[in-house]
Amino acid sequence: MTILISIIIAILFIVGLLGTILPGLPGVGLVYAGILVYAFTDGFVAINQSTVVYLGILTVIASLAQYFGSLWATKSAGGKKKALIGTFVGALLGTFAGPAGIFLGAFLGALLGALMEGSTPDAAARVALQSVIGIISGSIIQFFLAIVLIIAFLVAIFA
């Protein structure tokens, strides 16, 4: 493998890890892209096609962690259907507004949804805050799953 390919993979891994913490970057997706670059340039020798599929499934799960972490936290704080929908839509739309957008979008979406459900402003704020805590928890999960992807990659190529 060329040095250029190794540098590209390392950059994808580093930016991917940062992306698990900074919303707006496709964190684990970039880590997986680095694995794919290696697999294709290596002819699927060290990392075979089934490993690529398994790591792809893990990537999808990790990518969804941020959204579903927020939904779970919203529900655990007492949010109902409208708060859950508001959280998801707000977080999704917020990703287009930069790093803070996902947090603000989820917060405002959950707040609006909870208020529409008839929650008191205090209860709605609690639901909204919990949705942001869920996103942060999801980011932590994404970070650790990205580390798992990188470790699996290193084990596959050096084992």
Structure tokens that stand for 115 in this block? 């208020």
* Rounded CA separation 159/156 (Å): 6
pLDDT tens per residue across span 16-49: 999 988 766 788 999 999 999 999 999 999 999 9
Concatenating the DSSP letter of every residue in 25-54 gives S-HHHHHHHHHHHHHHHTTTSSS-HHHHHH
* pTM value surpassing 0.85: no
- List the alpha helices (DSSP H) in 2-120: 3-21, 27-41, 49-76, 81-94, 101-116
Which amino acid, residue 42?
A: D
Termini Cα distance of the chain: 16
CB 145, CB 61: distance < 8 Å? yes
Residue 134's pLDDT band, with cuts at 50, 70 and 90, is confident
Residue 103's pLDDT band, with cuts at 50, 70 and 90, is confident
Structure tokens that stand for 113 in this block? 């949804």
Which amino acid, residue 108?
A: L
Q: Indicate the DSSP class of residue 23.
A: T
Residue 102's pLDDT band, with cuts at 50, 70 and 90, is confident
